[in-house]
Structure 1
Amino acid sequence: MSKQFNFPKEKNYLLVPEMPTPNGRMHLGHLAGPYLKMDILRRKAERGGGKAFVVSGSDVFESYVELKASQLGIGTEDVCNKFHPQIIKDLEALKIHFDFFLNPLDEQWRARFFKREKELMQQLTDAGVVEEREEDLIYDPVNERFLNGCWIKGTCPNCGSGTGSYLCETCGTHYRPSDIFDAATYPDARVIKGTALYLKLDTKKLFDKVEKMEINSVFADILKRYVELQGPYIRLTTPQATGVEWEWGADKKQVLFTYSALLFFSVFCGDICKEQFDLPIHPFDAASDFTTIASFGIDNAIPYLAGVLAGGMELPGLKAFDYYLSNHFYYLNGEKFSTSRIHVIWGSDIVHLAQVQPDVVRYYLARQNPELEKKNFDVSEFITVVNEELFVRYNNVLKEAFAVLPQLPGEAPDDKWCAALQSLIAEQNSFLNPPGFNLADALHPVDEWMDRFDGWDAAERKLYAYWWLKGFALLAYPFMPDISTALWNRLSDETELTIDHFFSGNKIVRQPVEDILFKEVSYTQMEKCLPESIKVNP
């Protein structure tokens, strides 16, 4: 029997990154947050022989779609259909894989999506956790619309920052539009007494769940502050022009509040996963063995911690998300990424215009990731890291290993050698398993593997070069899939890069090493994808 590593069986996952608004493309600030980490987790799971399905889609009823439609002079569906494929292109450029990335307005999904959202809303209503609450609605008679979402701006009632819509991007506070309304700013507006539907939060059950999930304390505090300010309720409906309509009485009709309805969208993603992959049970079924995980940024803390999590615990027969992966804001050269100010680097542009390898972008974003605090993509630092760490250090070790490859792979290393690699994989896995998820720490075993080769003498290098290279492919794969896969294909007949296949399919294909090396990055390259706001004379 061939040698094998001893790892516990990987879990089955349904990964649902937050649904982006299709009013623009995806920049590195988006990609470094909810999306890259889910792809890395997926690759880690599949490397271990598990299943990890990634399903999400565009939040087509987020109100900023209406604003973009107004700016472009086209319909809201046209906006969604314009930017949805561009979002996919930016994701794909950095090798961020989705099994399905849905546009709910596509004919393939539209009727089912609307029906499912209404079914789930009815289930919450039948569970007795939906309440009608009075509130001030702000109406603009000039433009004939309610001032909420993208159409209202004011001051955050918590931190005093300028804000708009329903969520403060500085402190994460969620509020009612009336909380930030200033009559002096909107002199034509009228305050109308109205009602909306809210989910009544079981705060004890909710906070117990938050504690069990070991959610980042900063995010847990945002939830506590929200309940103190707004009470134990989260919005379920709002008077908006676009959305899934919901009636609950005579002359009482609004649309489902898209932020809280991310719960319904998530369950719909589970529906598609069960159907398309012929699963015996729904991933959100209470009896399912799937581990369900959502990822989101600090500006969506309350929708996910209150609406999605609390609502998920009330849907009969289903379970709430098992884990959350959250992140703070990402900055670009010291200022927050901003689509409106065009202070961005688009995902596709850094790869296709600047001709930077996706692997090196992923490496830097993982190393400089905003999981625990806000972080900064510094262009000069990025170039230095790529050129000094990857182009010089990593390439030198890879070239040295290839230079001493034997004619044949040879016998598998002894148990002590294998135990060292297994220990590093286990360490990496520990940082890629929630709740202890930490991308930067998960990169350390890759660096340690590099150090190990550097520490060997000439005889050890020649003896272990083949197995060291194969080990590098395993450790680097979640972060740097292109180079890892190219390397694996040189060393194995096994098409799947998995831990179980490490000792099998051994071969050595001797070709030039350029396609498994990291390429140098220059400022001249980067300038092709940089916004005017940070371009400088090199």
Structure 2
Amino acid sequence: MNVSVFSTEELHQAFGIEMSSVEKMGAGAGWGRVAPGVTSDPHQHDEIEMFVVVAGTGWVAFDGRRVRVEPGTVCQFEPFETHVIENDGDVDLVFFDLYWRDPARAAESAAAGGTRRRFHERPVFVFSTPPTPNGDLHLGHLSGPYLGADAYVRFQRMRGTQAWHLTGSDDFQSYVVDRARREERDPARTAEHYSAEIAATLRLMDIEVDQYTVTNQDPDYREGLRGYFSKLVGSGAVTVQETAALVDAETDAYLYEVDVAGGCPGCGGATSGNICEECGEPNTCADLADPRSGRSDAPPEQRRLPRFVLPLHEFGGEVADHHRLGRVPARLRALAERVFARGRLDIPVTHPSDWGVPPAESGAAGQVIWVWPEMSYGFLHGIEALGGRLGRTWQAAAPEQDWKFVHFFGYDNSFYHAVLYPALYRLAHPRWNPDIDYHVNEFYLLEGGKFSTSRRHAIWGKQILRPETVDAVRYHLALTRPEERRTNFELAAYTETVQRVLVDGWQGWLNDLGARVAGQYGGTAPDAGVWTPEHTAFLNRLGIRLAALADSYGQDGFSLNRAAAELDGIVADTRRFAEAEARTAQLAGWKDEARTAVALELAAAQLLARAAVPVMPRFAARLAEALGKADLASWPAQVELVTPGTRIDLEQQSYFAALPSDWPPAGGVQA
């Protein structure tokens, strides 16, 4: 017999609490102690783990749930299930810990979503960064957050998840003021115009948005934002301080964001005010090297101005804990480490301006809440507005622990989303531990250069999107979008994708399959007959493609690059299979095997229709109709044969269209 008695002398720091090890238990074992007021670090691992509480009371949080624990409570966690133990009592919370490896359970858990085993049971709010209404959306914009969020939500709904896509127009950006100044109209009219244009482009792209918040027009937005900001001030962390700022020496205009440029204090490269697009690190404008004003040719002057300021450097631990809870790509974690390595970073969260929402508090007259901290409230406001239409009681002022956030944004917005917002949420809602997954994209280039309105170097959504082109555009952008590195849109490559992959490849195979079904089986799906080893091997390959697609669309491994490649892989595998089977298709002695081969090709076509829904919804719907209305509402659990006798109408279908001969339009690819 092996006996272990709890001993404080054997405890050491681990996971933010105190732990010990017990040997010779047949599994990993130890004692844990959580002091009053202490919470363990969020963490997950490949072992199954069991807590047996023997003293004290508190909470165990896992995957959006909080469970009360007391002596006699036993909690078991599956592999990769994020968990936290918290002591809110007055005495030590003591538990016995057992953990062991089960490779099969670990593999099953990873395939099911790993750290998010309850993902499909929770409300999932998927946000694409609210676009700035200072212009319409070009392919660079569309390829990133908007296509990503749309495909993500479509797949999650097929899996039975309650998922919604939320975005809107970020009306109070300084970039709207700059555009209004150049167009000689007021910011409100400018924002209203471009917000409507953006919404129209999203519709052309078949991007479905469940909540589109127009911040300057929503009647409840301003007061809700003021209330949120008051909570930040009420925390005692956000205070009015006189800190260094830049002003234009000739016009006396306050300089930030679009109105100032210089050297990044982080990487040393060229940057605009407040954020560096290259390294992602923030600046306060006053710390720019060799700053240049956008309002005159005079060198900017540095002055000390009173503004509401957040001492962000005090929240490194909280942000690190947050990054252990959800899906946070390594590049975002590395960015946070660089930011907090600076030692001190006081971030002004109000700026002098007459465009925006002034805080309710005094002390910074003539200032408005900075639009980037504002956005953290905007996400909560969007949930409340969506809930009002759905009959849900969601409240921006009282976020719920069960909410799951998924953010899609470009890397240049990473600091705000993954560093600043977790700190703000901790101040505004101390008892809420937001569970957020982050999906970030890099820059999408156009013919080797950045998309640029001023240089007439852009392809706008409205120039290329038509009912007959939208699926091809969505597919090519999915295939080439900049997920982990910068990628490049080339018109010649897009044209080749449409012709070689989609028209000659996919459509050519489907038309040929339809002709063979019509000629050999009277236009209806044949039943499978005799199976050969090649048939079972092909069915297995389709199953592998299905699993890879589920992983590529899923919450942990999301990648539209891989999903697009897997969709084309279904067609490539099937064409090779069909070419091999054609050698015996017309031989009288192999008719039973031949109809099995055709039945498997139809199964591949049906799989293509169902698996293409997140990326190419129109194509998927038309192909499903041609296959006898295949089910597109749910994700397939396995590859299925088309019901024998189903009417098949593939032979004459045209799914994709090349760009018209007069494209690009006269004057180039600029709106």
Instruction: Map residues 80-229 of structure 1 onto 2, 5 A cutoff.
Output: 80-106=191-217, 109=218, 111-140=219-248, 142-143=250-251, 145-180=253-288, 182=290, 187=298, 190-201=301-312, 202-229=315-342
The one-letter amino acid of 1:489's match is: E
Range with bigger deviation, 145-154 or 332-341: 145-154
1:403 aligns with 2:515: yes
- What's the counterpart of residue 47 of structure 2? none
Residue 455 (structure 2) pairs with residue 374 (structure 1): no
Which has the larger share of helix?
Answer: 1
1:470 to 594, 603, 606: 606
Q: Which structure's residues are more often strand, by fraction?
A: 2
Q: 1:492 to 1:511 in 2, by over 3 A?
A: closer
Match of 1:536 in 2: none
Q: Sequence identity of aligned pairs in percent?
A: 22
In terms of mean alpha carbon deviation, does 94-103 or 172-181 score higher?
172-181
SS in 2 for 1:246: coil
The correspondence of residues 82-481 of structure 1 with structure 2, limited to 5 A, is 82-106=193-217, 109=218, 111-140=219-248, 142-143=250-251, 145-180=253-288, 182=290, 187=298, 190-201=301-312, 202-229=315-342, 231-250=344-363, 252=365, 254-279=367-392, 281=394, 287=400, 289-316=402-429, 317-352=431-466, 357-405=469-517, 406=521, 407-409=523-525, 421-454=542-575, 455-456=577-578, 457=581, 458=585, 459=594, 460-481=596-617
Structure number with greater CO (CA < 8 Å, separation at least 6) is 1
| Bigger Cα displacement from structure 2, 470-479 vs 205-214 | 205-214
User: 8 Å contact 2:404–2:434 — kept in the other structure?
Assistant: no
Q: Deviations over 1:425-476 (max 9, x none)?
A: 3321212223322211122331232133221424133223433322110111
What residue number does 1:23 align with? 134
SS in 1 for 2:125: strand
Checking the alignment, whether the CA contact within 8 Å between 1:483 and 1:517 is kept in structure 2 is yes
One-letter code aligned to 2:246: I
Assess, with a 3 A threshold, how the Cα gap between structure 1 residues 98 and 511 changes in structure 2: closer, same or farther: same
Give the CA deviation at 1:225.
Answer: 2.3
Larger Rg: 2
Q: For residue 237 of structure 1, report the CA deviation from its aligned partner.
A: 1.5
Partner amino acid, structure 2, of 1:441: R
The letter for the 1-side match of 2:455 is R
Matched, 1:32 2:137: no
SS of match in other structure, 2:193: helix
Distance, in Å, in 2 between the alignment partners of 1:105 and 1:434 is 33
Output aligned runs, 1:506-521, within 5 Å: 508=646, 511=649, 513=651, 515-521=653-659
Deviation at 1:163, TM superposition (A): 2.5
Contact 1:13 1:291 survives alignment (8 Å): yes
Query: Does the 8 Å CA contact 1:215/1:435 hold for their aligned counterparts?
Result: no
Q: How much does 1:485 deviate? A: 0.8
For structure 1, which segment, 327-336 or 146-155, has the greater mean C-alpha deviation from structure 2 after superposition? 146-155
Mapped partners of 1:343, 1:148: distance in 2: 26
Amino acid at match of 1:341: R
Give the direction of change, closer, same or farther, for the CA distance of 1:514–1:204 in structure 2 (3 Å limit): farther
RMSD: 3.3
Question: How many angstroms apart in 1 are the aligned matches of 2:405 and 2:189?
Answer: 32
Q: Does 1:528 align with 2:665?
A: yes
Quote how far apart the aligned CAs of 1:258 are.
Answer: 0.6
After TM superposition, give the deviation of residue 266 of structure 1 in Å. 0.7
The AA in structure 2 aligned to 1:172 is: G
Displacement of 1:115 in angstroms is 1.1
Residues 339, 224 of structure 1: alpha-carbon distance in 2 compared, 3 angstrom cutoff: farther
Pairs aligned (count): 522
CA contact (8 A) 1:10 1:50 kept: yes
**1:89-140: CA deviation from partner (whole Å, max 9, x where unpaired):** 222222111112221222xx1x311011112112223333324343123334
Task: Sort the Cα spacing of 1:525 and 1:246 in 2 relative to 1 into closer, same or farther, 3 A.
Answer: same
CA distance in 1, matches of 2:214, 2:389: 16
**What amino acid is aligned across from residue 490 of structure 1 in structure 2?**
A
Shift of 1:70: 0.6
**Residue equivalent to 1:3:** none
Unaligned runs of 5+ residues in structure 1 are 1-5, 534-538
Q: Distance in 2 between matches of 1:468 and 1:358?
A: 23
**Which moved further from structure 2: 161-170 or 387-396?**
161-170
The whole-number CA distance in structure 2 between the counterparts of 1:404 and 1:246 is: 70
Query: Which letter does structure 2 place at the counterpart of 1:105?
Result: N
Shift of 1:168: 1.8
2:622 paired with 1:486 = yes
- TM-score using structure 1 length: 0.87
Cα offset for 1:364? 1.2
In 1: Cα distance, 2:248 partner to 2:566 partner: 57
Counterpart contact for 2:307–2:350, Cα < 8 Å? yes
CA 491–315 in structure 1, closer or farther in 2 if over 3 Å, else same: farther
